[in-house]
Structure 1
Amino acid sequence: MARFAVGDIQGCFDELQLLVERMGFEPGRDTLYLVGDLVNRGPDSAAVLRWAKRHDESVRVVLGNHDLSLLALSAGVGKARQGDTMAAVLEAGDSPALLDWLRLQPLLLPLEDVLIVHAGIWPGWTQQQAIALAGEVQVQLAAQNWREGLAQMYGNQPASWDETLDGWPRWRFVVNALTRMRFVDAAGALQLKFKGELTDAPAGLYPWFDWPERISTSRIVCGHWSALGLRVRDQLIALDTGCIWGGALTGIDLDCGRLYQVPARREYQSLLPM
């Protein structure tokens, strides 16, 4: 019984199938954790969703920012961006079933030894805080008025965490931290505009996992940051290796640490990541 995690798929269904074959993943025996951004910018987001949904007893998913964008578009509260490839999902005959399944997925999966999340965990939260706050957002996405909530999801403010935040300002910060975060400043405020490599970061910014006052948690398994690439540390496994940009799709055996990669069949997007 193996436990695998896979980085951002973003519609790269063929590479996913090659990767799970290479890993020897067997549904019903093994568990596969997908770290979010199942959809968008790649060639077949609908196939990725169908496959994950069909195997959802063995495939566990956390939501990424592109997954939330798909839900927002389906609710009529989001805007398509250059390079988006989500129209095929929205137009599919099984779209309602796929989207209902997707929006019930969590933003954070706590395992005994690792935390699975898309972008990261805001470094000023304890592990218990992060789990509880992710649960608050999950409740909102499962509610009957979930469309109204998604209409309030977008925006970069508040940038700083305050326990007294209430309603969607509170949940917006949680969503941004768990699905969009890369850098924070010295005070721990989210800095969402810069998305590049560590060596090019403006002065005074820290990758969230290197914030000097970071509170320790279990090892975090994440994706989201293709410019960061593959990083394996004692407290971090970052798996986004930019398959849609012509890189690779990466997976890891969470128990033995063995890495697996499948190169992208081609460069699906040539613009800088957004």
Structure 2
Amino acid sequence: MSKTSEYTPGFGTAPIRRLEANTRGRDWVAGDIHGYFPELAERLSAVGFEPATDRLICVGDLVDRGPCSHEVLQWLEQPWFHSVRGNHEDMLLEAAQSTDPRARPLWFANGGAWWDRLEMLQRLDIADALETLPIAVEVPTEQGLAVIVHAEVPAEFDTWLDCRQALEAAGSNSPLAERLTRGRERYYNALETRLPDVSAVVCGHSRVEEPRRLGNHWIIDTAIDQGGRLSVLSLDALCAEAATATGR
């Protein structure tokens, strides 16, 4: 890609990424970071994160609102750092096309003004990296398969397999992908229905004071951008609690 012109995203990344089982260390999940990367570093230190063996999987919304969104690239370059795409990554990529005059003001109203303080090459590199983020990440755990998405698995799907097949057919730039990154049906309606073919679904997007479980969906956006704290949690522990609570 040329480094001399504004970025034009294609949203062509495969919508689902599956990680191998981590047999050497622990897997952790982080809620919406929103540019609070120093706080993320503090939380990782507090839980005893080991970069040589552990992995961190984030629920998206890595950028906007916080003071250090520009640091996102150096985190994405770490081999142990993984993330799905959130709606704030979507807004960034949409605004970077400069085709819809409403996209940039909408994004800036939601915390995107940091973008204008970057050099063009920084913008291109960050946009390139964010475009590679999938809609969902699958992670094998001791309790079974865990799925990380930004917002939710839509409630009309009885199984993750059904949603997975539909998402693979629809692609990363589809109405279904948008629902996985922006939906709040389960949150607003406190739906306790569960997906029987996964141990847990971990998501963010909807703010909660403490990590909240609905069926075997976990919501872990504890509102670091609104004066709350950043949650960094053991994926195995979330899966185990979801399994116990649902009688699995």
Alignment of 1:72-151 (within 5 A): 72-76=94-98, 77=100, 78-81=103-106, 83-89=109-115, 91-92=118-119, 93-112=121-140, 113-125=145-157, 126-136=159-169, 140=173
Alpha-carbon distance, 1:100 to partner: 0.7
Q: 1:68 aligns with which of 47, 67, 90?
A: 90
Does residue 210 (structure 1) correspond to residue 192 (structure 2)? The answer is yes
Mind listing any 5+ residue stretches in structure 2 that lack a counterpart? 1-24, 240-248
Amino acid at match of 2:227: G
1:11 aligned residue: 35
Amino acid at match of 1:230: P
Amino acid at match of 2:179: A
Name the one with the larger helix percent: 2
Aligned-residue sequence identity (percent) comes to 27
**Count of aligned pairs:** 203
Looking at structure 2, the residues matched to 242 and 227 of structure 1 have their Cα atoms a distance apart, in angstroms, of: 7
Looking at structure 2, the residues matched to 117 and 110 of structure 1 have their Cα atoms a distance apart, in angstroms, of: 9
Q: 1:52 aligns with which of 69, 75, 85?
A: 75
2:20 aligned residue: none
Looking at structure 2, the residues matched to 136 and 251 of structure 1 have their Cα atoms a distance apart, in angstroms, of: 32
**CA shift in 2, pair 1:139/1:248, >3 Å:** closer
**CA shift in 2, pair 1:119/1:139, >3 Å:** closer
TM-score (normalizing by structure 1): 0.66
2:228 aligned residue: 247
Cα deviation digits, residues 131-163 of structure 1 (max 9, x gap): 2344456555xxxxxxxxxxxxxxxxxxxxxxx
Alignment of 1:208-247 (within 5 A): 209-210=191-192, 216-218=196-198, 219-227=200-208, 229-232=210-213, 235-247=216-228
User: Which SS does the other structure have where 2:104 is aligned?
Assistant: coil
Alpha-carbon distance, 1:223 to partner: 0.6
Cα deviation digits, residues 189-239 of structure 1 (max 9, x gap): xxxxxxxxx7xx6xxxx23x435xx65341101111004742146612211
Alpha-carbon distance, 1:176 to partner: 3.0
Alpha-carbon distance, 1:178 to partner: 0.4
Looking at structure 2, the residues matched to 138 and 45 of structure 1 have their Cα atoms a distance apart, in angstroms, of: 27
**CA shift in 2, pair 1:183/1:116, >3 Å:** same
**CA shift in 2, pair 1:71/1:123, >3 Å:** same
Mind listing any 5+ residue stretches in structure 1 that lack a counterpart? 141-170, 185-197, 259-274
1:30 aligned residue: 54
TM-score (normalizing by structure 2): 0.73
Contact 2:171 / 2:177 at 8 angstroms: preserved in 1? no
Cα RMSD for the two superposed structures:
2.5
Amino acid at match of 1:210: E
Looking at structure 1, the residues matched to 208 and 28 of structure 2 have their Cα atoms a distance apart, in angstroms, of: 22
Looking at structure 2, the residues matched to 138 and 52 of structure 1 have their Cα atoms a distance apart, in angstroms, of: 26
**CA shift in 2, pair 1:35/1:139, >3 Å:** closer
Alpha-carbon distance, 1:50 to partner: 1.8
Looking at structure 2, the residues matched to 122 and 139 of structure 1 have their Cα atoms a distance apart, in angstroms, of: 15
Cα deviation digits, residues 154-195 of structure 1 (max 9, x gap): xxxxxxxxxxxxxxxxx22x13320111126xxxxxxxxxxx
**CA shift in 2, pair 1:107/1:256, >3 Å:** same
Cα deviation digits, residues 37-71 of structure 1 (max 9, x gap): 10111212111x1232220x211110111110011
User: Which SS does the other structure have where 1:176 is aligned?
Assistant: helix
Contact 2:208 / 2:220 at 8 angstroms: preserved in 1? no
Alpha-carbon distance, 1:129 to partner: 2.8
Alpha-carbon distance, 1:101 to partner: 1.1
Amino acid at match of 2:184: R
